[in-house]
């Protein structure tokens, strides 16, 4: 277990490093004029622009810039923002935005797990009945209708009918977070409900369930001590990644409700050629995704005793 964990951590770190390096090189291959705003391109003469690029180190060979970036990264220095918040260290720019996205994401994740799994269990208990059909219709609707349309319907109903504020505000965080949390939750609720029902139905058809019934075990004990427990194991791999990626926010939801989180930051940074912000955003997203997959594998091993690690040439 320890050997596997260390190996996967090293693989994950190497993968993140490769992704960040590729993005760094691609950003540095853009024309130097992107370093300047349109106003600066008009006002500054060619020599002044050259001097500024030289001072910023952008005229150095790309390998030299890359080594300098690695050295700064090892010391926790990711540079300063040039456009998003000019002159402010990148980590400070990210600080408040990560907190906003994390708060909304963790709340929506908790709601999704509770409601989605409960809905899947209820559908299984009422298989082929009216509640099961309603739940299936909800899942199909969420997965087939474009997210923007769903969010618009939620916004119209919440704002026009229920009177809930439609735009996020730091002066009224609780009320203005309701609609974004609902929008972030509906897709995950459908996911957990779908797979909880599917796995539970599969478990109910297995031989050990028939044996438990023959032995006289109650339907309640069968459902919650065996079926739900075993049905949740395949989904456990998805939970860590979902939880970690909440830090990254949702681009569409955060733009839709004007939330100052991580979601819109990277696209804004790319559009404004804020290279240092782009690099740290890529590192965060890549790191969260890869660590999420790694933790999912670890959780699978912890929750499913059938999974064991073997030596070379074995299976997992």
pLDDT at 306: 63
> Roughly what angle, to the nearest 10 degrees, separates helices 147-156 and 178-204?
120
Domain assignment of residue 296, yes or no: no
Domain assignment of residue 184, yes or no: yes
Domain assignment of residue 201, yes or no: yes
Domain assignment of residue 10, yes or no: no
Domain assignment of residue 223, yes or no: yes
pLDDT at 138: 93
262 φ, ψ (degrees, to nearest 5): -75, -25
pLDDT at 191: 87
Structural domains of the chain, count: 1
pLDDT at 241: 67
pLDDT at 1: 65
Q: How far is CA 253 from the centre of its chain?
A: 13
How far apart, in whole angstroms, are the C-alpha atoms of residue 113 and residue 295? 17
Per-residue model confidence as pLDDT tens digits over 266-311: 778 887 888 888 888 888 888 877 877 777 777 777 776 666 555 4
How far apart, in whole angstroms, are the C-alpha atoms of residue 270 and residue 38? 16
Q: How far is CA 116 from the centre of its chain?
A: 18
Domain assignment of residue 73, yes or no: no
Ranges under pLDDT 50 in the chain: 311, 313-316
Domain range holding 171? 91-275
pLDDT at 75: 83
**Domain CATH for 124:** 1.10.3720.10
Domain assignment of residue 282, yes or no: no
Domain assignment of residue 309, yes or no: no
């Amino acid at each position: 277990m320890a050997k596997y964990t260390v190996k996967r951590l090293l693989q994950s770190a190497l993968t993140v490093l490769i992704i960040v390096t590729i993005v760094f090189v691609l950003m540095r291959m853009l024309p130097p004029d992107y370093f300047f705003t349109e106003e600066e391109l008009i006002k500054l003469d060619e020599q002044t622009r050259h001097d500024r690029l030289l001072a910023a180190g952008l005229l150095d060979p790309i390998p030299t810039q890359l080594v300098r970036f690695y050295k700064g990264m090892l010391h926790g220095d990711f540079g300063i923002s040039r456009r998003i918040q000019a002159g402010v260290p990148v980590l400070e720019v990210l600080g408040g935005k990560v907190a906003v996205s994390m708060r909304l994401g963790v709340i929506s994740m908790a709601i999704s797990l509770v409601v989605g799994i409960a809905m899947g269990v209820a559908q299984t208990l009422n298989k082929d009945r009216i509640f099961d059909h309603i739940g299936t219709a909800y899942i199909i609707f969420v997965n087939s209708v474009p997210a923007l349309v769903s969010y618009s319907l939620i916004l119209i109903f919440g704002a026009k009918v229920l009177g809930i504020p439609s735009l996020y505000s730091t002066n009224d965080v609780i009320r203005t977070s309701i609609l974004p949390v609902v929008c972030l939750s509906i897709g995950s609720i459908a996911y957990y409900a779908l797979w909880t029902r599917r796995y539970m139905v599969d478990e109910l058809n297995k031989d050990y369930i028939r044996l438990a019934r023959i032995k006289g075990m109650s339907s309640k004990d069968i459902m919650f001590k065996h079926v739900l427990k075993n049905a949740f194991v395949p989904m456990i791999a998805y939970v860590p990644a979902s939880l970690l990626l909440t830090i990254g926010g949702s681009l569409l939801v955060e733009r839709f409700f004007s939330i100052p989180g991580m979601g819109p930051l990277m696209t804004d940074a790319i559009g404004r050629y804020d290279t240092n912000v782009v690099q740290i955003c890529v590192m965060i997203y890549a790191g969260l995704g890869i660590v999420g997959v790694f933790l999912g594998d670890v959780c699978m091993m912890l929750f499913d005793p059938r999974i064991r690690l073997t030596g070379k040439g074995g299976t997992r």
